[in-house]
Structure 1
Amino acid sequence: MVHPQRFRQSIYRNTKAILLPESNIKSQNRWLMLIKLSLSASIPFMIAIFTIVSYIQQMQIDKNNREKDLEIANLTRIQDQMIANITRLHDLEVANLTQIKDWEIAMANLIIANETKIQDRQIAEENRNEDRAQQYDLHYETLYSKYIEDISTIFYKQPYNQTIFTSEENKMLYIRRKTLMTLRSIDSERRSQLFVFLYENNLLPDQSSPNTTISLIGAHLKNITIESPVTGSYQFDYLSLQSLNLMNAIFIGCTFKGNTNFNGSIMTNVQFIGATFEGQLTAYKVKLINASFIDCTFKKKVIFQNCDLSYAKFNRSNFNQLSSVSVILTNGSFIDCKFNGKIEFRDSVMNGISIINSEFEKNIGHEFSSVSLDYSDCHNISLDYVNFHSSSLSYSNFRGAHLTGVQFDLKTFITNSDFSDSIFRWARFDQTNLFGSTIDLNQFYSSEFRNVVLPNGTWVIDKEEILKNGNAEKNCPIPSGNKIQLPWEEEIGPPILYHHNISYSNSLVGNCSYKCPNEDVCCMEQRIELLRYLLFVESGELQYTLSAYFGSDSECAEGLIEVWILTPKWPFRRKFSNPYIKSSGNYIQWQETKDTFKLPKDNEYVFHVRVVFNLYSDSCYIDNIKFRLEQN
């Protein structure tokens, strides 16, 4: 757009320049006139153009303003809508929070109301229980007081000449019935008091005075607590608590004089704390599950027979002879105990038992016979001259143990047990299975192994002759023609010991052999027992070998001498016989024959070896008859 002021100034300058030369004045005047006319005509045109341009610009400005106003209006509307939405959401959130708060307040009030109601019920229940307990207590007290009064009347208030009992026995029976009925009707606290009352009046069962005391067989003494006063311990003389209920009973600081008898009683969870048993303690068919003997002293023999002592605990207790026969002592424990006199466990199950820091008197010969001690814990134990017969100590812990003169025999199993850092002195292993145990043979000092399965599975078989005098050398040399020696027995005709003094034959079979003295049939037999080898016999992996030397100083036909092996019950029979033998010259020709076989796992352990000399066998000899066992 052209500015009017600047346009006029431009016209003026141009006009002035034209008019300056005088020579051109006229011409300039004409041009000036034309220019003026042009300028006069252009000014309205310019004004029109300017007006049009201004109008267009104003229209564009108005359009832009309208668009901007519309955009602003839209933005304002969107902003107002967003503000309205936010306001609605905030109001909704506030309403929800208010509703939640109101719900929480309502729930809290409900919980408080319920708790208050529960507390009220509990208080009411406690009050009722307290009232009930007071009623029971009053009831128990009434029963107990009536019992005491009744018994006291019998003993102290009733004139002797006016007694209602025809005999002392009837009086004791009445007191017994009254006592049993009362014990079943009162609580444990008064049962304890009643027990003390019987003790103070010398009415407790006394084995030495059965006619002046009552029997408590069938009595209910559950949960009683008998604790000696500080003035002195309760002393029970020859106490006999047979076939009664002593579950959860506690005896603290009591002394049991004379023999004490708990036969047939239920004593689960019973506790003897600081008790002293001065006489023999006998328990036959007693349930002593989880029983505790803490700091107890047993001055005489203790006998447990056919008892269940599972989880029983003997802590810091001293024994003087202990005999346990057919007991169950699984997961029990002897901790810090002292065993004096002979300790004997027979035919018992003691799996998982712990014997820790306990001392056994030396050189006594303690015995564990037919006892299962699997999974037991005996670490750091010290055992001197303890015998384990036909027992099992598998999967047990004997780490750091000191075992002196200990004997394991008669099929004792110690498989997969831990003997790390243990020491064996003068130990004896006979018929013992040590397979899989952690044990070092360097831990043994002057120890003996016979018929043992070593930890690596190797067999150590006793080399002693199983068949006795198979070489005919017993009581030899003697004059020819003597009868056979035991353990051979004559079956048919009398075989004899034949003495031959031939140097070549002596190098093989010694000085004597067996033969039949004439052409008749002879037979001798020997019984063999393999009891010492049962560990191998029952494994089913045993190989048997029967062998003999057959000889002749002239000619012996084949089969004239038969060697049989058989069992008395099991249908088993095997035999082998001599080969043909011919000797020329002044010597006996010998040939060895043997038979090797296996038997099933459940075979007999008794065999008979029979030697039969058939007809015309008087020129035949047999010697060095052997029966051997080997690992297959």
Structure 2
Amino acid sequence: MPHVASEAMALDPYTVPAMRIRPTVRERNERHCCCGLTVRDLITICSTVLIPLIFGLFTVVITIYQQRIAQLQRKQDLEISHQQRAHDIELAQQQRAEDRKQAELLRKQDLEIAELRREQELNISIVQALAADRQHKHDLSLADNLQKESVLVGYLKEMADLLDKNKFTLDNHVGVSIVRPKTLSALRQLDSHRKVHLIRFLYESELIITGKNPLDLSDADLDGIDLSFLNLDSISLKSVHMRHALLIRANLSFADFSNSLLTSTNFSGTKMSVGTKFYWAQAEYADFSRISSVKLNMNRIDAHGASFRFASLNQATFHDAHLQYADFEGASVRNADFYLANLENSTIIQLQLQEAVAFEGLILPNLNIGDHKNIIFNGNAEQKNGQYDCTVKLTRPIFALLWDSVKNRRVIAIAYNSTISPSAFIPDKTVTEPNQCYFTAFSDEYDRVSMYQRVELLQYTEWINDKILTFFISARMGVNNVGTEWVSVDLLMKTSGEVLLVNSKNILRNGSSVKKCVRQFFPPPNVYFFDIYVNFERLFVNNGTLETFGYIDDIQVWATRGVPKSIEGSLLNSCDA
């Protein structure tokens, strides 16, 4: 078998390609690889060299890895330390902030406690000061009251002794040299409450009664005094200072407040029955509401902004009074006299002024100037009565309303543009008439036709008797034919018993072209009535026919305390013809 094997081993490999002989282990181990070194040697060498190298590398790697881990650990430790430090810093900051906040809170609490203590101490000191001040004021008030009471008691005692010594009458010398200075001095020292006692003493002692030589209290200080509900009939308080005073519902009949300062004084509801005077008083914004008065004298008063609401001002006189912005709502001014008064921007209305006696020269609320008041009714022939209206009923003439005819002879009211009555006056078409209608006679058989009207003068009686009124009568009158036609006015003045005092025949008369005729007259005392007669006269002509009648229009009678500028220089124009 070995031989076969060697032969087999000796076969040419090229001849036996498919057959490969595996070397043995030994052969393999003994086979040389490089530089005469076998694999085993190489392995031995490698194992001898590589193992330490590997261990070294491993050691190096491990060392590097450990260093890396150490670095990472250090980095992590640093980060952790940084985070811890930051956290510690944050905690420290929060703690410091909390400490500061706590300290601030404690400081604030301390400040509040300190402030509260200071306020308490201040309040205590203020309370003590106020208490001391009140006590001081109380002491001063007591002392002042005692002093005022002493002044009043001393004044009353001294005046009582003086009156007793002079048997309750004081002549002018004593009044001027002794009583007046003592009274003014006492009033300056007294309060408003004690001034009431002083004034009542003077009043009840009849030292300040009008008509009894009253004590002169000019410039006396009565500001703020309260005399409400007192009976002060005929008291004289002329030229005193009595602003913001109260006289509510007092009896002030015949009282005299002339030239006094009465700004914002309250007279509401007072009784001023007859003759109470406020001549030239300064009563701006005073309250005269609901007063009851008759013949109140407020001439030249300055009552700017005053209230007269629902006051009874019947027969009151307001000559040249300043009544701008005054309130007259609901006030009664029947027969009141507003001659030259100023009612600019006041609340008085036309319906109230129609009840007044006179208002010529009056400045109305709308700044127009008031004219005189005509006491003749239907003087312009335009008075309406139902369907009878001369301005629209042109088909036939109408009788003169509010006029009575004499012996039933007709007087008619007719429009200027009427052509329905050939026997009546024919107006001149070239003349512009101030009114729409006129009066003329309407008769085919009479040569004289008259109408008349009675005027009562009861509201003027006192002024007529005192001779302080001037009366005027005027009319616009004319005829068509001069020499054969006339128009005249007669004025008969009578007493209450129908006794004729004056017969002013032809007080106005015109027999020529149209003229405005004016006549001044002065009625005698005790006149109570005027009977006004208007006469239309004409002549027969040669053929037996009658001329037409003349005409009259704008008939007026009025009273005044002065001569209106509009008729100065015309008083002698009686139109006699």
TM-score, length of structure 1 as denominator length: 0.49
Post-superposition Cα deviations, 1:562-620, rounded to whole Å, max 9, x if no partner, equal: xxxxxxxxxxxxxxxxxxxxxxxxxxxxxxxxxxxxxxxxxxxxxxxxxxxxxxxxxxx
Post-superposition Cα deviations, 1:286-312, rounded to whole Å, max 9, x if no partner, equal: 1112211232111x1233233322232
- Assess, with a 3 A threshold, how the Cα gap between structure 1 residues 60 and 475 changes in structure 2: closer, same or farther: same
2:189 paired residue number: 185
Shift of 1:214: 3.1
2:315 paired residue number: 321
Shift of 1:253: 1.9
Aligned partners of 2:271, 2:120: CA distance in 1, in Å? 58
Q: Aligned runs of 1:76-155 on 2, under 5 Å?
A: 76-155=84-163
Decide whether the 8 Å contact of 2:310 with 2:330 is kept in 1: yes
Shift of 1:130: 1.5
Post-superposition Cα deviations, 1:479-525, rounded to whole Å, max 9, x if no partner, equal: xxxxx9999xxxxxxxxxxxxxxxxxxxxxxxxxxxxxxxxxxxxxx
- Assess, with a 3 A threshold, how the Cα gap between structure 1 residues 263 and 364 changes in structure 2: closer, same or farther: closer
- Assess, with a 3 A threshold, how the Cα gap between structure 1 residues 360 and 328 changes in structure 2: closer, same or farther: closer
SS in 2 for 1:146: helix
Q: 2:370 aligns with which of 376, 389, 403?
A: 389
Aligned partners of 2:157, 2:304: CA distance in 1, in Å? 42
Aligned partners of 1:28, 1:338: CA distance in 2, in Å? 165
1:256 paired residue number: 252
Q: 2:81 aligns with which of 51, 68, 73?
A: 73
Q: Aligned runs of 1:483-498 on 2, under 5 Å?
A: none
Decide whether the 8 Å contact of 2:295 with 2:316 is kept in 1: yes
2:408 paired residue number: none
Shift of 1:188: 1.3
Shift of 1:251: 0.9
- Assess, with a 3 A threshold, how the Cα gap between structure 1 residues 126 and 281 changes in structure 2: closer, same or farther: same
1:289 paired residue number: 284
Q: Aligned runs of 1:567-582 on 2, under 5 Å?
A: none
Instruction: Please tell me the residue identity of whatever aligns with 2:257.
Output: F
2:225 paired residue number: 224
Post-superposition Cα deviations, 1:343-391, rounded to whole Å, max 9, x if no partner, equal: 526252634x3459x97275656637352636x9xxxxxxxxxx95389
Are 1:371 and 2:372 counterparts? no
Are 1:279 and 2:274 counterparts? yes
Aligned partners of 2:358, 2:167: CA distance in 1, in Å? 57
Decide whether the 8 Å contact of 2:323 with 2:341 is kept in 1: no
1:30 paired residue number: 28
Instruction: Please tell me the residue identity of whatever aligns with 2:231.
Output: Y
Decide whether the 8 Å contact of 2:314 with 2:333 is kept in 1: yes
* Structure 1 range deviating more: 313-322 or 264-273: 313-322
Identity of aligned residues (%): 22
Are 1:243 and 2:239 counterparts? yes
Are 1:234 and 2:231 counterparts? yes
Shift of 1:247: 1.8
Aligned partners of 1:235, 1:164: CA distance in 2, in Å? 23
Decide whether the 8 Å contact of 1:271 with 1:293 is kept in 2: yes
* Structure 1 range deviating more: 140-149 or 322-331: 322-331
Q: Aligned runs of 1:404-553 on 2, under 5 Å?
A: 464=432
Instruction: Please tell me the residue identity of whatever aligns with 1:276.
Output: K
1:556 paired residue number: none
Aligned partners of 1:268, 1:465: CA distance in 2, in Å? 50
Shift of 1:121: 2.7
SS in 2 for 1:314: coil
- Assess, with a 3 A threshold, how the Cα gap between structure 1 residues 165 and 196 changes in structure 2: closer, same or farther: closer
Instruction: Please tell me the residue identity of whatever aligns with 2:233.
Output: F
- Assess, with a 3 A threshold, how the Cα gap between structure 1 residues 164 and 34 changes in structure 2: closer, same or farther: same
Instruction: Please tell me the residue identity of whatever aligns with 2:248.
Output: I
Instruction: Please tell me the residue identity of whatever aligns with 1:71.
Output: E
Shift of 1:278: 0.5
Aligned partners of 1:343, 1:38: CA distance in 2, in Å? 159
- Assess, with a 3 A threshold, how the Cα gap between structure 1 residues 90 and 167 changes in structure 2: closer, same or farther: closer
2:200 paired residue number: 196
Superposed CA RMSD: 4.3
SS in 2 for 1:293: coil
Shift of 1:75: 2.8
Q: Aligned runs of 1:586-625 on 2, under 5 Å?
A: none
1:575 paired residue number: none
Aligned partners of 1:249, 1:325: CA distance in 2, in Å? 25
Tell me how many residue pairs correspond in the alignment. 361
Decide whether the 8 Å contact of 1:191 with 1:221 is kept in 2: yes
Shift of 1:272: 0.9
Aligned partners of 2:27, 2:302: CA distance in 1, in Å? 155
Structure richer in strand, relative to its length? 1
- Assess, with a 3 A threshold, how the Cα gap between structure 1 residues 145 and 82 changes in structure 2: closer, same or farther: same
Between the two structures, name the one with larger relative contact order (CA 8 Å, sep ≥ 6).
Answer: 2
- Assess, with a 3 A threshold, how the Cα gap between structure 1 residues 37 and 240 changes in structure 2: closer, same or farther: same
SS in 2 for 1:64: helix
Instruction: Please tell me the residue identity of whatever aligns with 2:152.
Output: Y
Decide whether the 8 Å contact of 2:232 with 2:255 is kept in 1: no
Shift of 1:143: 1.8
Shift of 1:236: 0.8
- Assess, with a 3 A threshold, how the Cα gap between structure 1 residues 346 and 476 changes in structure 2: closer, same or farther: closer
SS in 1 for 2:137: helix
Shift of 1:135: 1.1
Aligned partners of 1:118, 1:368: CA distance in 2, in Å? 67
Aligned partners of 2:336, 2:279: CA distance in 1, in Å? 20
- Assess, with a 3 A threshold, how the Cα gap between structure 1 residues 476 and 225 changes in structure 2: closer, same or farther: closer
Aligned partners of 1:167, 1:361: CA distance in 2, in Å? 46
Decide whether the 8 Å contact of 2:359 with 2:371 is kept in 1: no
2:12 paired residue number: none
Post-superposition Cα deviations, 1:444-495, rounded to whole Å, max 9, x if no partner, equal: xxxxxxxxxxxxxxxxxx98389xxxxxx986999xxxxx9999xxxxxxxx
Instruction: Please tell me the residue identity of whatever aligns with 2:243.
Output: M
* Structure 1 range deviating more: 339-348 or 186-195: 339-348
Aligned partners of 1:190, 1:121: CA distance in 2, in Å? 31
Shift of 1:225: 0.8
- Assess, with a 3 A threshold, how the Cα gap between structure 1 residues 35 and 348 changes in structure 2: closer, same or farther: farther
The unaligned stretches of length 5 or more in structure 2 are 1-19, 31-37, 373-377, 379-388, 390-429, 435-478, 485-511, 516-564, 567-577
- Assess, with a 3 A threshold, how the Cα gap between structure 1 residues 476 and 153 changes in structure 2: closer, same or farther: closer
SS in 2 for 1:324: coil
Shift of 1:242: 1.2
Shift of 1:192: 0.5
Aligned partners of 1:336, 1:23: CA distance in 2, in Å? 159
Q: 2:340 aligns with which of 341, 346, 352?
A: 346
Aligned partners of 1:316, 1:112: CA distance in 2, in Å? 58
Aligned partners of 2:195, 2:312: CA distance in 1, in Å? 30
- Assess, with a 3 A threshold, how the Cα gap between structure 1 residues 111 and 150 changes in structure 2: closer, same or farther: same
Instruction: Please tell me the residue identity of whatever aligns with 1:371.
Output: I
Aligned partners of 1:31, 1:370: CA distance in 2, in Å? 162
Aligned partners of 2:26, 2:320: CA distance in 1, in Å? 160
Aligned partners of 1:341, 1:477: CA distance in 2, in Å? 43
Instruction: Please tell me the residue identity of whatever aligns with 2:226.
Output: T
Decide whether the 8 Å contact of 1:367 with 1:388 is kept in 2: no
Shift of 1:149: 2.5
Decide whether the 8 Å contact of 1:225 with 1:251 is kept in 2: yes
Decide whether the 8 Å contact of 1:140 with 1:187 is kept in 2: yes
2:262 paired residue number: 267
Are 1:50 and 2:50 counterparts? no
Structure with greater Cα Rg: 2
SS in 2 for 1:182: helix
Decide whether the 8 Å contact of 1:343 with 1:366 is kept in 2: yes
Post-superposition Cα deviations, 1:171-226, rounded to whole Å, max 9, x if no partner, equal: 6555445433322332211111111222333332222x33xx53433433222111
